[in-house]
Amino acid sequence: MNDKTIKNKHLLSIVELGGYPDFSKIYKQYQLDVEITNSMRKAVKLIKKHTPDIIVAEFNYQSDFRDRTSNLETLLAVLQKKPQVKLIIFYEKEFAHQFERVTSRFELPFTLPFPIDEPALSEMVQRCVRN
């Protein structure tokens, strides 16, 4: 097999609120093809077209949601049929209690509180790439 037949893994970054650095440099050091979107709705469409290997998303708690805790439930529902996808979630420490409601229902081994520790993120990405 020559190098041209080896495909890079694909990472989808869902940046809805942002306000933190662009971590593409970290993702690209692991030869990941990076795609960025700014809404969960667009992300779900992209995932249905082409399933990424890794997704990085934010937990955004919204008390006005009638049937959900956050933006993540929609994503997690789609990913239940795609267990091979690795998921890294960023969350605000002040919403840790609400985030625990999500982690009690879904297995989320890769989570990081804001401000994001870049070496920790790099290690998580590396673990996702290797598994």
User: Per-residue pLDDT tens for 77-130?
Assistant: 999 999 999 999 999 999 999 999 899 989 999 999 999 999 999 999 999 999
Q: Which is it for the CA torsion 96, 25, 13, 33, positive or negative?
A: negative
70: which strand partners?
61
Q: How far from the centroid of its chain's Cα atoms is residue 57's Cα?
A: 4
Token pair 């209690």 is at which residue? 97
Which pLDDT band holds residue 9 (cuts at 50, 70, 90)?
very high
The Cα 12–Cα 23 span in angstroms is 12
- C-alpha torsion sign, points 14, 18, 22, 23: negative
Count of structural domains within the chain? 1
CATH code of the domain in which 79 resides = 3.40.50.2300
Mean pLDDT for the chain overall: 90
pTM greater than 0.85 (yes/no): yes
pLDDT tens digits for range 67-77: 566 889 889 99
24-71 tens-digit pLDDT: 999 999 999 999 999 999 999 999 999 999 999 999 887 666 656 688
Range of the domain at 30: 3-130
Beta carbons within 10 angstroms of residue 11's beta carbon: 26
Torsion-angle region of residue 13: left (phi > 0), alpha (psi -120 to 50) or beta? beta
